[in-house]
Chains A and B, each alone.
Chain A
Amino acid sequence: MATKPITGEQRAFMTGNEVVAWAALAAGADIMYGYPITPQNEIMHYWTRMAPKYERAFLQTEDEISAGFTTVGGVLAGKRAFTATAGPGNVLMQEAMAMAEMMRLPTVVVVTQRGGPSTATVIYSQQELNLTCFGGNGEGLRIVYSPASHDELFTYVIKAFNSAWKYRFPTFVLGDGYQSKMREPVTLFDPEERGINMEVCRPMVGLPGLPGEERDPAHLRNTYNLEDELYQVLTDSIREYEAMASEVAEWDAWSADEAEVLVIAHGVVSRAARAAVEALRQGGVQAGYFRSITLRPFPVDALRPLASRARHLLVVESAYGQLQRLVQASLYGLETPVSGYLRPGMGITPEEVARAVHSLI
């Protein structure tokens, strides 16, 4: 057994892509499958440099359709497998993720959002929320974490493996190009030393024993003959998804109660939102801040009461209303007005958020 990649707590100053590679190593990921795409590339670059030292594997596939399906194969074989992609690659990966959703396969995908649609930019956006939460011909039975800092990238990549293997829903870490390419301080740690136990990964095929005699063969399918059969399978999955939702949903809030304007954001934009709200509070404006850390399941129960006691809601995102639609759907029936500061593919600064809040009051 190779030595642990990280012992104790290690402070470092590095890019987000490097953080993801370290997190996957620390989580005990066995294999990465991937296809080059900016801004995700360096996750693969760091992984291919470090993986052999810790007896981990890598396969560069011929495209993202293949990267998605080889990841599916990896988890079927009982390995903590993952892939990383962005933009048009995320589009292609949806076919495999639909299979993972139907068959309850614990795939882990790190998405580094870039501008869209089409090839657009290689830089940054929050435009892959819809795709990552609801891509594929299914119901969006997925877990999607949206980290906002390098410390969170590290923590949530580790957590993604555990949530995936515990609940058996495809799990995503939804980063973005800014987080991928920026350097900031981070603390790396060994999960075990922090009391985080990694879920055991059990194979779904290739089990010991002679199939048909010593054990039942694994007959795993995603096709059903009858509507009723499919309905039964989906109903079971949906029930399990809803049952785990309150356990998995995460959010963060600050001075959010009885806010004049409650600013709602996710991912890296929530940093600007939080900074703006702090500045506004100092200036005497009753602003509040709410951030969904999980986009699927969405923290409806946490947001609803805060939203109902706020005067205005302001959704701030680097997309044209993808988060806003999630917010509005979960608050259906409330009368608090919702507006958006929507900047598809553009970064957002605290000053802009503060101006948008002022324009509401």
Chain B
Amino acid sequence: MAIAAQPQMPRVWRAESKPHKFCPGCGHGIVLKALGEAVDALGIQERTIFGCDIGCSLLSWDFFNLDTIQTHHGRTTPVLVGIKRARPELVVVSYMGDGGAYAIGAQHLVSSASRNDLVTIIVVNNTVYAMTGGQMAPTTLPGQKTETTPYGRDVELTGRPMLGPELVAAIAPPGAYVARGSVANVVQLKNYIQKGLENQIQGRGIAFIEALSSCPTNWRTNAAETWRFLEKEMSAYFPVGELRTPEEKPAARLREVPAHGPKP
């Protein structure tokens, strides 16, 4: 497969594993393209470690010419945090789905955010558990039908959609970078991811980027309906934009505090 034949392919893409394994119309490929371009732009291919979760993200285990580890469902962030603590010169990327990040891996997200771990986390929000066939995810919209909410998501019984970036933005110490992008705006998404990688490289703190994404297979939608749901319904519930930048003045209660402790 000649690389020249595919001019938009980021340099860090691995030609041998293309065409990729995602379904037609899937957002995962677009998010990975944005990540690839950001890695290219920063020239960090040699020292970037890519970690993918179990979810449709697992299909990216051979996607890049990057050293890559496929971990367990929900456990990608701790594996990469472990690497980062042992080899701080590396740049670590934790790539996962909304189920991996906000359900089974929520404890790791909360802890890494509070520790301000130097890791760049990218979460693909497609409102479902895609890999397992379309069950409810923490991000499933109210009323949305899934395999485990066959009569529509009832917020009285199952709660409301999780707002991941808002959660991380609320608990992370100063220096964190938090944003929500969308596959509907790849340039902006790439920009967010690049800022997230820089945040880690500069040692400021955690970087967390959620990407609104499409799953036509489990939504059972055609192209037009896929885009309508993504652009109208998802972006209305999950506002796109930057939630925390390292430059901003953190809220008073989040400011660094002197050491405390009882003095016996």
Contacts and interface: CB of A to CB of B under 8 A. Distances in A.
* Interface-central residue, A36, A59, A62, by most chain B CB under 10 Å: A36
Interface stretch (A41-49, A135-143, A219-227, A342-350): A41-49
Contact of A60 (B70, B133, B136, B150): B136
A44 B148 CA distance: 7
B50 interface: no
Nearest to A63: B104
B65 interface: no
Given A45-B148, A49-B150, A63-B103, A119 B129 contact: no
Nearest to A50: B150
Interface string B132-170: 110110100000000111110000011000000000000
Given A62-B106, A63-B104, A118 B72 contact: yes
Contacts of A60: 135-136, 148, 158
B150 A48 contact: yes
A35 interface: yes
B93 interface: no
* Interface-central residue, B73, B129, B133, B149, by most chain A CB under 10 Å: B73
A88 B103 contact: no
Contacts, number: 51
A62 B135 contact: no
A36 B148 contact: yes
Given A60-B158, A88-B72, A119-B73, A36 B135 contact: yes
B176 interface: no
B133 A41 contact: yes
A38 B130 CA distance: 12
A37 B103 CA distance: 13
Contacts of A41: 132-133, 135, 147
Interface string A15-49: 00000000000000000000111100100110011
Contacts of B74: 63
B58 interface: yes
Interface in B156-194: 157-158
Given A36-B132, A36-B148, 20 more contacts: A36-B129, A36-B135, A37-B132, A38-B132, A38-B133, A44-B148, A45-B135, A45-B147, A45-B150, A48-B147, A48-B149, A52-B151, A58-B148, A60-B136, A60-B148, A62-B138, A63-B103, A64-B104, A119-B70, A119-B72
Interface of A: 35-38, 41, 44-45, 48-49, 52, 58-60, 62-64, 88, 118-119
Closest 6 CB pairs of A and B: A63-B104, A36-B132, A62-B103, A36-B135, A45-B147, A48-B148
